[in-house]
A and B are shown apart, each in its own frame.
Chain A
Amino acid sequence: MKLELINKLFECVEFGKININSPYPPQMKGLPGADEITQEALVAGVNPDEILNRALIAAMNKVGEKFTEKKIFVPQMLLSAKAMNASMNHLKPYFADGSVKRKGVFIVGTVFGDLHDIGKNLLSMMVEGAGWEVIDLGIDVNTEAFVEKVKEYPDAVVGISALLTTTMVNIEPVIKAIKQASPATKVIVGGAPLTAAFAASIGADAYGKNPREGIIWLDLQSQKMNN
């Protein structure tokens, strides 16, 4: 029974079935979604940690693989992330009381001057689905907002995104300010016009070409922090 619920939840997240009213995917129309199955699983006594690790993280990992292999595209990935979020909402009390541990805190935002959010949204949803607590500062985020949040969460990793050549240069002063306030804080950057060479030149610790690359690097940081 418990395994069946975990498998069902995995399937809902993999295929983007948010709740019973969601018409997508067509083959699951009218069936319970991630929202209802998570509630059912918790009532049935499934360990929230198992829900997170064996259903949500595992499914989002598969979604990331399918995206990298061009088997699915941005819309399907966003729907999977929404299904994952619907489930995650029911796990929040367990995160709050410490009975379910996440891998770390990821502070993310689009750099000041830049109003684009689709890449940043995709990344933050995938990172959350990979087991991190995500603090999304939104778009057009100024240096002070990043620094303030880093002071609040000194163990967090920071992600900064830019989609314009005119705004990617704004990332450098943000990194400098973050490192000044908290030298040990790691920063990963990404966005369409960025390259690994540019990321290195502005003092970033890593460059994420796509969400999957970013998550692999983040998970390495988590392992280092927990060792």
Chain B
Amino acid sequence: MKEWIDSVLNHKRRQAFPLITHPGIELMGATVKSAVSDGRVQYEAIRAASETFHLSTCSSMMDLTVEAEAFGAKVNMPEDETPRVVGRLLKEMSDVEQLQVPALDQGRLPAYLLANQLCVSNIKERTLFSGCIGPFSLAGRLYDMSEIMVSIYTEPETILLLLSKCSAFLVDYCKAMKSTGTAGVIMAEPAAGLLSDEDCRLYSSDFVKQIVQEVQDDNFTVILHNCGNSGQCTQAMIESGANALHFGNAIDITEALSECPPHLIVMGNLDPVSLFKQSNPDQVKQSTLELLNRTKNYPNFVISSGCDLPPQTPLENIRAFLEAVEEFNRSI
């Protein structure tokens, strides 16, 4: 969304974009299971988080199973934890050849699209982003993560065919999310962070680029999230063509900022676990200010958590983060 990107690039004030759907779920007393299964509950959770913390930007859930489930993968859904793919759907080339690209009425996809629609209709004056998984991370959930890591070398044709089906699906899914009126999509591609730059380009970014070319325009931005990248595959992420890159705490964000062109939005990367969940408000505030000061010469930086904040993150730590951003903005 060009307006949002311009607002980041042309203002000195830092925007804060923590990924906080789990705190939203807890604020309304719902379970994770209900939020990932029922679009209305998910919307209420996003609304609760955005209103409680007065966020200008928010996103739908980072659930890395809904797409794999639509393809036919089995999913374990505990009450208060993020869902997980169980077992291995695909084992060889013939399985991949027979794999059908699912329609958008499969599994929990309609619930997610409903959550997006309700957010756009009811949460006003805020920039809302959809969420989806990236092609390599989706393929890993269908083929088994350890196996796909080896098979990119031993059976590259099988994996490339699987990736083409994953990206074909993600084009359809992103188009459907775009039609709800959200400002863009955060595409979570953490598994690609386990690859070298060259492999990340070949098995992730080339496919992300296909999706970007189909859906990204002045009204819809792709934010490519890769919290696995520890610095080795930033160039491949840039080459995806996504208008914004979101990094996890494994990377030195100033190194990422120096690698990225100034028109590209760079987001990240406070540790969601050891800082947001396990530290106290003073430590959160101190780390947030330290990161803001370290990145103050980069207008394209948006401060964020390095990944989705986990369940049971103390709300006072999120408040401390937002207070630190406000304090920094007052000082400039």
Q: What residues make up the interface of A, taking CB atoms closer than 8 Å to B?
A: 16, 22-25, 70, 72-76, 78-79, 82, 113, 115-118, 121, 164-167, 192-193, 195, 198
Size of interface on B: residues with Cβ below 8 Å to A: 28
Q: Which of A75, A117, A195 contacts B195 (CB 8 A)?
A: A75
Q: Which of B86, B149, B152, B312 contacts A115 (CB 8 A)?
A: B86
Q: Chain B residues near A76 (CB, 8 Å)?
A: 196
B296 CB–A CB distance under 8 Å: no
Residues from 130 to 155 in B contacting A, C-beta threshold 8 Å: 145-146, 149-150, 152-154
Beta-carbon contact of B310 and A75 below 8 Å? no
Given the contacts A78-B146, A165-B273, A166-B310, A73 and B154 also touching, CB distance less than 8 Å = no
Beta-carbon contact of B154 and A118 below 8 Å? no
Beta-carbon contact of B152 and A75 below 8 Å? yes
A192 to chain B, nearest CB (A): 8
Q: Which of B80, B153, B195 contacts A24 (CB 8 A)?
A: B153
Given the contacts A79-B153, A115-B86, A118-B146, A193 and B196 also touching, CB distance less than 8 Å = no
9 tightest CB-CB pairs across the interface, nearest first?
A165-B310, A24-B153, A74-B194, A193-B273, A75-B149, A166-B81, A73-B196, A115-B84, A118-B145
A107 and B149 alpha carbons, distance in the complex (Å): 24
Q: Chain A residues near B274 (CB, 8 Å)?
A: 193, 195
Q: What residues make up the interface of B, taking CB atoms closer than 8 Å to A?
A: 76, 78, 80-82, 84, 86, 145-146, 149-150, 152-154, 194-196, 199, 230-232, 273-274, 277-278, 310-312
Beta-carbon contact of B154 and A22 below 8 Å? yes
Beta-carbon contact of B273 and A23 below 8 Å? no
Between-chain CB contacts (< 8 Å), 14 pairs: A22-B154, A23-B154, A24-B153, A70-B230, A73-B194, A74-B194, A116-B84, A118-B145, A164-B81, A166-B310, A193-B273, A195-B274, A195-B278, A198-B278
Q: Chain B residues near A78 (CB, 8 Å)?
A: 146, 149-150
Q: How many A-B residue pairs have CB under 8 A?
A: 69
Beta-carbon contact of A165 and B149 below 8 Å? no
Since A22-B154, A73-B195 are in contact, a sample of 5 more A-B pairs with Cβ atoms closer than 8 Å, ordered by chain A residue number, is A70-B231, A70-B232, A78-B146, A193-B310, A195-B274
A170 and B199 alpha carbons, distance in the complex (Å): 35
Q: Chain A residues near B145 (CB, 8 Å)?
A: 117-118
Beta-carbon contact of A166 and B195 below 8 Å? no
A70 and B233 alpha carbons, distance in the complex (Å): 11
Beta-carbon contact of B150 and A166 below 8 Å? no
A1 and B149 alpha carbons, distance in the complex (Å): 35
A23 and B273 alpha carbons, distance in the complex (Å): 40
Q: Chain A residues near B149 (CB, 8 Å)?
A: 74-75, 78, 118
Q: Chain B residues near A198 (CB, 8 Å)?
A: 278
A40 and B153 alpha carbons, distance in the complex (Å): 26
**Chain A residue with the shortest CB-CB distance to B196:** A73
A165 and B312 alpha carbons, distance in the complex (Å): 9
Given the contacts A70-B230, A75-B153, A165 and B277 also touching, CB distance less than 8 Å = yes
B93 to chain A, nearest CB (A): 14
Beta-carbon contact of B150 and A73 below 8 Å? no
Q: Which of A23, A118, A121, A165 contacts B153 (CB 8 A)?
A: A23
A218 to chain B, nearest CB (A): 21
A79 and B196 alpha carbons, distance in the complex (Å): 14
Q: Which of B76, B86, B232, B311 contacts A73 (CB 8 A)?
A: B232
Q: Chain B residues near A193 (CB, 8 Å)?
A: 273-274, 310
Q: Chain A residues near B311 (CB, 8 Å)?
A: 165-166
- The residue in B86, B145, B149, B277 that gathers the most chain A C-beta atoms within 10 A of its C-beta is B149
A165 and B276 alpha carbons, distance in the complex (Å): 12
A118 and B277 alpha carbons, distance in the complex (Å): 24
B116 to chain A, nearest CB (A): 26
**Chain B residue with the shortest CB-CB distance to A169:** B312
Q: Chain B residues near A115 (CB, 8 Å)?
A: 76, 84, 86
Q: Chain A residues near B195 (CB, 8 Å)?
A: 73-75
